């Protein structure tokens, strides 16, 4: 018995296989986006000789993919991914365990006040790109917005005994204004921990 509404282009078995394929590639560090999914379905349909008339050139549309994702929301979902280098992805649990074994040996007799964890963070004033609605056919679309694309670096350090150093701020400016250093770290001279990068 057929289900109500429009009939699916793929069988349940084929959809499950495609989901399994997508998840495996994602686990390997090569996730697909929705366009890749459209191409996979098109190539599958072409290979097995099925022609779906509602697809232009057998390529499913965006709405079909949205319905596909809704049907399988327990198995797959859209997320924003982070990019990492191949060398970083190649790090295995064994490599990490070996690193901590060696670190433990090298820090055996070192006082906690001599062990420092240091981190640098960059804060950018770049609003980035955004999908917006506009009249069809517009070639060059601009969004008017005041921004500088400047960035500020924050350096933070903590000792293993729990002591925190004040945050060191590096910014691009010619001067250090007095108002920038008021109400900072209790009792500390912020002019010593803020420095302009000229």
- The pLDDT of residue 144 is 60
Same domain, yes or no, for 59 and 120? no
Given 71, 91, 120, which residue is the final one in a domain?
A: 71
82 contact partners, CB below 8 Å, separation of at least 6 = none
Given 71, 101, 120, which residue is the final one in a domain?
A: 71
Residue at 96 is within a domain: no
Successive 10-residue mean pLDDT values, the chain, 198 residues: 66 90 82 89 91 91 90 83 72 86 91 91 73 56 64 88 86 72 57 48
* Cα separation, 164 vs 157, whole angstroms: 6
Answer yes or no: pTM beyond 0.75. no
* Cα–Cα–Cα angle for 160, 162, 167, rounded to 5 degrees: 100
- The pLDDT of residue 138 is 55
For residue 86, what is the DSSP state? H
Closest CA to 34 of 71, 82, 79: 79
Q: Are 17 and 40 in contact (CB under 8 A)?
A: no
Same domain, yes or no, for 115 and 67? no
Same domain, yes or no, for 141 and 67? no
SS3 19: helix
- The pLDDT of residue 160 is 92
Residue at 178 is within a domain: yes
**166-186 CB burial, b ≥16 within 10 A, e <16:** beebebeeeeeeeeebeebee
Residue at 102 is within a domain: no
Domain boundaries, position 65: 12-71
Same domain, yes or no, for 60 and 125? no
Residue at 98 is within a domain: no
Residue at 44 is within a domain: yes
**135-153 CB burial, b ≥16 within 10 A, e <16:** eeeeeeeeeeeeeeeeeee
- The pLDDT of residue 187 is 46
Residue at 84 is within a domain: no
Q: How many structural domains compose the chain?
A: 2
Residue at 174 is within a domain: yes
Same domain, yes or no, for 116 and 192? yes
Q: Are 65 and 71 in contact (CB under 8 A)?
A: no
Same domain, yes or no, for 116 and 168? yes
Residue at 86 is within a domain: no
């Amino acid at each position: 018995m057929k289900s109500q509404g429009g009939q699916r282009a793929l069988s349940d078995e084929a959809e499950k296989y495609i989901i399994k394929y997508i998840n495996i590639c994602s686990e390997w560090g090569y996730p697909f986006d929705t366009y890749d999914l459209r191409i996979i379905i098109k190539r599958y349909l072409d290979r097995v000789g099925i022609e779906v008339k509602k697809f232009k050139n057998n390529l499913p549309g965006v709405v079909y993919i949205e319905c596909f994702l809704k049907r399988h929301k327990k198995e797959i979902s859209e997320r924003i991914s982070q990019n990492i280098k191949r060398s970083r992805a190649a790090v295995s649990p064994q490599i990490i365990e070996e690193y901590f074994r060696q670190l433990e040996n090298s820090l055996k007799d070192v006082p906690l006040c001599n062990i420092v964890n240091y981190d640098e963070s960059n804060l950018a004033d770049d609003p980035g790109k955004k999908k917006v609605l506009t009249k069809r056919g517009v070639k060059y679309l601009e969004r008017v917005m005041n921004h500088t694309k400047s960035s500020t670096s924050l350096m933070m350090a903590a000792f293993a005994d729990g002591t925190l150093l004040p945050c060191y701020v590096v910014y691009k400016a010619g001067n250090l204004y007095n108002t920038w250093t008021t109400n900072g770290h209790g009792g500390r001279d912020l002019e010593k921990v803020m420095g302009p990068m000229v």
